[in-house]
Amino acid sequence: MIEALDLRFGYPGFALHIPEFRVGSGEKLAIIGPSGAGKTTLLKLISGIVRAESGQLRVDGAELRALGEGARRDFRARRVGFVFQELELLDYLDLFDNIVHAYRVNPSLRLDRAVCGRARALAEEVGLGAKLGRMPHQLSQGERQRAAVCRALLPEPGLILADEATGNLDPANKVRVLDLLFRAAERRGASLLAVTHDHELLPRFDRVVDFTRLTAGGG
């Protein structure tokens, strides 16, 4: 699913070097490590949000460094579900429209009755079914976090990237969201790559990677 070799990316004051990193198809992998080490940057490289300066990065059969910005955007929309640490919900859209937003703005995705039904079902799974008409400012931080998970899972992606997806949740909702991520991965045979500081969650993953050991000379 993911293969990175001699991958390098940087900007003033930050340098990331990943000699080798692989994630198998269907594997559930947790990444741990100190804040500021580059874990979020790695997820952005894998999703094609940013482009590596050198090295090889193959994700789900696509060589991302060979793709232009538009092609990487389409790749991300169709094949990657990303739960952002900053959530990135749009304040002017209600909860339902936030969940389906990618289908309204990306021509490679088609919003139809089945997608709308799937969006409502995902919201029900995380306890937000009765709140689909509410605006983000009317939701708690935990509810916004769960909405971001629904948005990421809606396209039924083959790769799920979660950046502290349970970081703002109480224990009960933490388990609920993690269960949802795992069920979504298992239904699709998808790979799940999660950055987390919550070591209580680690036994549920197939493998745990310490980012400080993954990067050699990285920033």
Give the 3-state DSSP-derived string for 175-201, with helices as H, strands as E and coil as C: HHHHHHHHHHHHHHCCEEEEECCCHHH
pLDDT tens digit string along 12-31? 888 999 999 999 999 999 99
Separation of alpha carbons 63 and 60, rounded Å: 9
pLDDT at position 216 is 53
Q: Percent of the chain scored above 90 by pLDDT?
A: 71
Quickly state the pLDDT bin for 89 (edges 50, 70, 90). very high
pLDDT digits (tens, 9 = 90+) for 126-159: 899 999 999 999 999 889 988 999 999 999 999 9
pTM: 0.92
Closest CA to 181 of 112, 122, 136: 122
Q: What is the pLDDT of the chain when averaged over all its residues?
A: 91
Judged against a pLDDT cut of 90, whether residue 176 lies above it is answered with no
Lowest-confidence pick of 59-63, 97-101, 128-132: 59-63
What domains are there in the chain, each with its CATH number? 2-214 (3.40.50.300)
